[in-house]
Amino acid sequence: MKIFDGKYSWDGKKHDEYDPIAWFPGTYDLKIVAFPDGDRGRVRHLKPFLCVYARTGDGLSISAHPEKFAREICRRFSLDIDKVLWVEDLLQEPDRYEIVVYKKSGHLADSPLYSVEKRQATAGEVQLIEKELAALARWKEPPVVKRDE
């Protein structure tokens, strides 16, 4: 099920009690999908959400420090950072997809701190990612209407 499919932007300014994703503006292509819930004998996913993000070339890249981006996405869409399969789409072949793993490494006041590890997607993960992205692309296509000529 599609949760979000579009451009996600920030202006680099602080508007509430949370710091911005980055102190400079930026825009990323963002796709968030919820996997089926595992009822009726289906496998239940340990990470029931998929978040694929890709740089648009507009503004600052968050690739080196994606933690604030992930926190903001989780806050905005009511997701648990530990329940999301985070994927950076590098937009180039081979090894196009990079899996981003967040591990709790401590706390600062009431906020958890995370260490970030990146790795290449496995063949199974690539298959899952491409299947979900293809399904999203089908939703965007206008319906085909055949007319008798």
149, part of any domain: no
Q: Whole-angstrom Cα distance, residue 100 to residue 112?
A: 17
Instruction: Write out pLDDT tens, residues 82-122.
Output: 999 999 999 987 889 999 999 988 888 888 888 999 999 99
- The residue segments making up the domain with residue 131 are 2-140
Q: Whole-angstrom Cα distance, residue 96 to residue 121?
A: 8
86, part of any domain: yes
Q: Whole-angstrom Cα distance, residue 56 to residue 30?
A: 10
Question: How does the average pLDDT of the chain come out, rounded?
Answer: 87
The letter for the amino acid at 147 is R
32, part of any domain: yes
For 121, list phi and psi in degrees, rounded to 5. Answer: -70, 145
- What the block records as the tokens of 124 is 């199974």
| Nearest CA among 65, 51, 53, 50 for reference residue 7 | 53
146, part of any domain: no
Q: What residue has token string 């599609």? A: 2
CA-based torsion, 62, 131, 126, 48: positive or negative: positive
81, part of any domain: yes
Could you give the number of structural domains in the chain?
A: 1
- Band of residue 149 on the pLDDT scale cut at 50, 70, 90: very low
Instruction: Write out pLDDT tens, residues 27-44.
Output: 999 999 998 776 666 677
147, part of any domain: no
13, part of any domain: yes
130, part of any domain: yes
